[in-house]
Amino acid sequence: MTPAAVRDGYGIEIEGFDDLLQKLSELEAGAGKAGRLVVDHMQAALDVLGDNIDARTPVNTGALRGSRSNEMRGTPLHLIGETSTTVAYGWPVERGRKPGGKMPPVEAIEYWVKRKGIVFTREGKPLSSRQTAWVIAVHIKVHGTDGAFMYRDGLAASIGPIDRIFDDLSDQLLKELAG
């Protein structure tokens, strides 16, 4: 910093400040090396998170695991990364289901029963897949289900690695912005 004369007084001139403002402007616009660094590090963080969620996601048909997607929105200075699932039953699998309330969809359970080859019997006679699904649906309604907590636990397992990713980003951004 050096003292500088300004109109009707004095001020301080910071060497390289205009360059820093230009780099920050490029970063806000998503341009330049700094913007790419932010986006690349956010993608790396989302990849770590996604891998940890996938490792904890129950697999039946693979649809739930395959439905997880990442999204980034905003600018590098205000970037939001999000991972989510698009399947309707993702939330009940994550959080479980409390006893009571509405009965789960028998059709979806019937499909699962057929895929798994599950057959219940009553008095030694096999129930149809629809009847078996109905018994399971009633059981779920009465007793609820446990949650898999793949997102919660996947996030918890990702915190350390994500912290390291963003520590590295901080170091690289400081070097880039200092020029």
Question: 150, 56 in Cβ contact below 8 A?
Answer: yes
Question: 46, 81 in Cβ contact below 8 A?
Answer: yes
Q: What is the CA radius of gyration of the chain?
A: 27
pLDDT at 10: 58
Phi and psi at residue 145, to the nearest 5°: -135, 155
pLDDT one-digit tens code per residue, 115-162? 999 999 999 999 999 999 999 999 999 999 999 999 999 999 999 999
Most confident of 10-14, 166-170, 175-179: 166-170
pLDDT at 13: 57
Q: What ranges do the domains of the chain cover?
A: 13-88+149-179, 97-145
Question: What percentage of the chain reaches a pLDDT higher than 70?
Answer: 85
- Rounded CA-CA distance 6/79 in Å is 37
pLDDT at 3: 46
CA 158: distance to chain centroid?
11
Q: Which residues of 126-151 are buried (b: 16+ CB within 10 A; e: fewer)?
A: ebebebbbbebbeebeeeeeebbebb
CA 42: distance to chain centroid?
11
Computed over every residue of the chain, the mean pLDDT equals 86
Would the pLDDT of 2 be above 50?
no
Would the pLDDT of 28 be above 50?
yes
